[in-house]
Copies of this chain bind each other. A is one copy, B any other.
């Protein structure tokens, strides 16, 4: 079994090593990850310059760093390591819920794997006030890896882990409200600039990813790659028919 592991926090993130170590219980593991932080780059790929792929020492793992995005790491990693059975992304420091799914590099890596025909899961951990503890969560990570390897569920899953889970729930991506916000500020020279940040959304819709995490449940959301809005497509095609 060949398992490729990546993330968007960068190759030095403790969440990456925790995930790679867990994956090793199932087979051969290779880490291919960005050489710096690549948060919120979504499924970006780099096409304006070439990429480099360098072996590096990382906790005695088989590891490579790439000067690109998480999706770059997956595309290049799968090219350099043919026949990989599974791609795992994370464990991200911070949850990826609702509209984060659009911007997340962690999820972007998993989507890129699925585009290339390889099953994948993205793992993200809710941050609290204390240092994140991965150890108690690895049993759940194992369970997801097993599901993917044994082909007993969806091939592309967004997994969000609360700090002390009290169960697991299959969920829907929450889409009702966007949590992005703009903050105006000034740089040290006095020039105006703008930061993006996120606000906390309350009252999430029931049975969504956001809702599950607020209940202390691990959220598993099956994702799709086809972006077509079928209901609108049917309506517009019907309109065209009627006009003829």
Instruction: Name A's B-contacting residues (CB within 8 A).
Output: 37, 39-48, 50-53, 71-72, 75-76, 79, 99, 101-103, 108, 111, 115-117, 153-154, 156, 170-173, 175, 178, 180, 182, 185, 187, 191-197, 220-230, 232-233, 235-237, 240
Contacts and interface: CB of A to CB of B under 8 A. Distances in A.
A115 B99 contact: yes
Nearest to A41: B44
Given A45-B180, A50-B193, A50-B195, 5 more contacts: A40-B47, A41-B41, A50-B187, A222-B232, A222-B233
Interface centre among A101, A170, A196, A223 (most CB of B within 10 A): A196
A222 B180 CA distance: 24
Q: How many copies does the complex hold?
A: 2
A182 to B, nearest CB: 4
Nearest to A99: B115
Contacts of A50: 185, 187, 193-195
A196 B222 CA distance: 28
Contacts of A225: 102, 175
A224 B228 contact: yes
A173 B46 CA distance: 22
Interface centre among A50, A172, A226 (most CB of B within 10 A): A50
Contact of A172 (B40, B171, B180, B233): B233
B75 A182 contact: yes
- Top 8 closest A-B pairs, CB basis? A222-B232, A50-B193, A154-B232, A224-B229, A222-B229, A79-B182, A170-B236, A42-B42
A42 B223 CA distance: 17
A133 B153 CA distance: 48
21 contacts: A39-B47, A40-B45, A40-B47, A40-B48, A41-B44, A43-B43, A44-B103, A45-B180, A51-B195, A52-B191, A52-B193, A116-B178, A116-B180, A117-B178, A154-B236, A170-B236, A172-B233, A222-B229, A223-B229, A224-B228, A224-B229
